[in-house]
Amino acid sequence: MVTLRALEPDDLEFLFQLENDPALWAVSDVLPAPISRHALREYLRHAAASLAEAGQMRLIINSEENQPVGTLDLFDYSALHQRAGVGITVRKSARRRGYAQAALAWLLPYARQQLRLHQLYCTVASTNRASLSLFRKTGFRRVGVRHDWLRENTPAGWANAVELQLILSGEG
């Protein structure tokens, strides 16, 4: 059974490997650059802050063997509008095994019932077919496209960003 859990100091090496994977930098909104263990250690020291305090929350996705395989992030949290962005990263060697889908299945009732969110949203590169499929299967609906929004290391240089949204309560 896949589980989600809070960050622990022991996650330092896993996060170091994940955050320093150049293949994942393209899906991030930060300039591509390595991150140090020191910076991650400092991040872990402050990671216990609540979603309301920090405006973000990162959870570790654990495999059936209780090994970290990815992260699930809530970010851009708005208490007033009861929404948050969601992002999922799964280590390359653990992809296509259902971890991301299981993590989202856990997140949706948690976001609705415990966090009392009204909606979740995500931004996915139009070239990332696996993530688009994942979010659509989980009930997210496409609500728009931002053209040439994401810089990619491709001959075209740019990709469109697909905006997806899921209303968790009420009419959608």
What is the distance between the alpha carbons of residues 135 and 69, in angstroms, rounded to a whole number?
19
What is the distance between the alpha carbons of residues 134 and 18, in angstroms, rounded to a whole number?
20
Place of tokens 């960050």: 7
- Residue of 144, 140, 105, 104 whose CA lies nearest to 126: 144
Do 138 and 167 form a contact (C-beta atoms < 8 A)?
A: no
Global pTM? 0.88
Position 86 pLDDT exceeds 90: yes
Model pLDDT, residue 43: 84
Backbone angles phi, psi at 95, to 5 degrees: -75, 160
Position 25 pLDDT exceeds 70: no
Report for 41-45, 47-51, 112-116: range of highest mean pLDDT:
112-116
Model pLDDT, residue 32: 67
Average pLDDT over residues 2-11: 92
Domains in the chain, start-ordered, CATH in brackets? 3-167 (3.40.630.30)
Model pLDDT, residue 26: 63
Average pLDDT over residues 138-142: 97
